[in-house]
Structure 1
């Protein structure tokens, strides 16, 4: 049995070595800091940054997928205290991120990432003016995350919320909620945005156009059925 475990561990080691150009093996046997043959970071990583020019050092751990952060990443100070928990997709912040001081949570943020391989992204968002109503919005992808959701700020000593902000697609909502931004994609029909299209203008008969051209600028009396002067 012992020899079987040794052989199995050796096979895992060889597989990791074959997939990664450079890597580390953790004390528990996990493969860390894998760089593939294309130079892309893959899988579980731990990063260490030393203090520099007054900026504190830190360590962070999470998963890379094709050189981009993916999923939950945790950031620690060099004393081992948790300082941030961030969520990523396509290397961009997506969903909930939390930030801490030594005394406790300081703020909570929400972000919306879009697929950077697409020029436009279609999403559904709650209408701030009409409860329980959702609108489809097409936004232009510019390679950045959008603030989207309720941000909370805390008193770290007591863990109580001091104030909140509501963001909709990077637009801060005030006490009076604003309407949703209109789609930036000109190919999107207005019916998807909940806007009734304007009725088409009926063309005038040729005889009416000729009459209007002939009498343009003149005072023309129109018979309306009234009697008297």
Structure 2
């Protein structure tokens, strides 16, 4: 029995030695672990105190390499659930629900997390008549780390009925079936010929600007006319 106890203590010490800091929860769980590189790992419970009239809250979920991942739940300091959020790469992603202090569902938002370091993203365009059907895929420029994308639904928290819905496209609200900003450069499908065309037009403008004003005026007046050019030779 003595050797079993020593072995248990050895493994316990080895397990905890990988953490720079941690706490033991009321159920004996190891929580709020910070690894030797100073990054949050595993299950965490965070308390935010009330400040300047803003209500405090508790939240619990998981960290991976200092980033929130998966489902996080937020509670008021009285213990009432006020939010359920999903995270990817440390940013809001998927459907997130928000509640009143009495537990009534207030709204449901849909978010899209952007992969760190990614400048472009490919977004599916769905058929308005059949949202399960993808009719196109559009490459768009992205800014920031998360965008509201999809349906936001507002509820009557007392009766649970839908009050209104909003459709969002990459942080812009949709009106009708049109994609917000689809005529803007940041929401156009990528065209590899665009750069080449722009460069050609720029070169053309630069060549035109390099000509003397007299020559430009002459070319303008005689545009479309057949002009006999002289090359300096004499005789027939």
TM-score range, shorter chain: 0.7 to 0.9
Distance in 2 (alpha carbons) for counterparts of 1:114 and 1:79 = 34
* Structure 1 position 103, deviation (Å): 4.2
* Structure 1 position 133, deviation (Å): 3.5
Q: Report the TM-score, using the length of structure 1 for normalisation.
A: 0.73
Distance in 2 (alpha carbons) for counterparts of 1:24 and 1:2 = 28
Distance in 1 (alpha carbons) for counterparts of 2:142 and 2:67 = 17
Q: Check conservation: 2:80, 2:103, Cα contact below 8 A.
A: no
* Structure 1 position 8, deviation (Å): 4.6
Counting only pairs closer than 5 Å after superposition, residues 29-178 of structure 1 correspond to structure 2 as 29-101=28-100, 102-128=102-128, 132-174=133-175, 176-178=176-178
Q: Check conservation: 1:129, 1:178, Cα contact below 8 A.
A: no
SS of 1:14's equivalent in the other structure is helix
- Seen in structure 2, the aligned counterparts of structure 1 residues 19 and 141 have a Cα distance that, compared at 3 Å, is farther
Distance in 1 (alpha carbons) for counterparts of 2:128 and 2:174 = 9
Any unmatched runs of 5+ in structure 2? 194-222, 228-236
SS of 1:214's equivalent in the other structure is coil
1:214 — aligned with what?
A: 226
The Cα offsets for residues 166-223 of structure 1, whole Å up to 9 and x where unpaired, read as 112222122x2114737749993479xxxxxxxxxxxxxxxxxxx94417xxxxxxxx
Q: Check conservation: 2:95, 2:108, Cα contact below 8 A.
A: yes
* Structure 1 position 44, deviation (Å): 0.8
Q: Report the TM-score, using the length of structure 2 for normalisation.
A: 0.71
- Seen in structure 2, the aligned counterparts of structure 1 residues 127 and 190 have a Cα distance that, compared at 3 Å, is farther
Any unmatched runs of 5+ in structure 1? 192-210, 216-229
Q: Check conservation: 1:129, 1:177, Cα contact below 8 A.
A: no
- Stretches (4+) displaced over 4 A: 1-10, 127-131
- Seen in structure 2, the aligned counterparts of structure 1 residues 135 and 18 have a Cα distance that, compared at 3 Å, is farther
Which stretch shifts more, 154-163 or 143-152? 143-152
Q: Check conservation: 1:129, 1:179, Cα contact below 8 A.
A: no
How many aligned positions are there? Answer: 195
Distance in 1 (alpha carbons) for counterparts of 2:41 and 2:191 = 41
Distance in 2 (alpha carbons) for counterparts of 1:26 and 1:10 = 21
- Seen in structure 2, the aligned counterparts of structure 1 residues 105 and 190 have a Cα distance that, compared at 3 Å, is farther
What's the C-alpha RMSD, in Å, of the aligned pairs? 3.1
- Seen in structure 2, the aligned counterparts of structure 1 residues 80 and 33 have a Cα distance that, compared at 3 Å, is same
- Seen in structure 2, the aligned counterparts of structure 1 residues 184 and 79 have a Cα distance that, compared at 3 Å, is same
* Structure 1 position 51, deviation (Å): 1.3
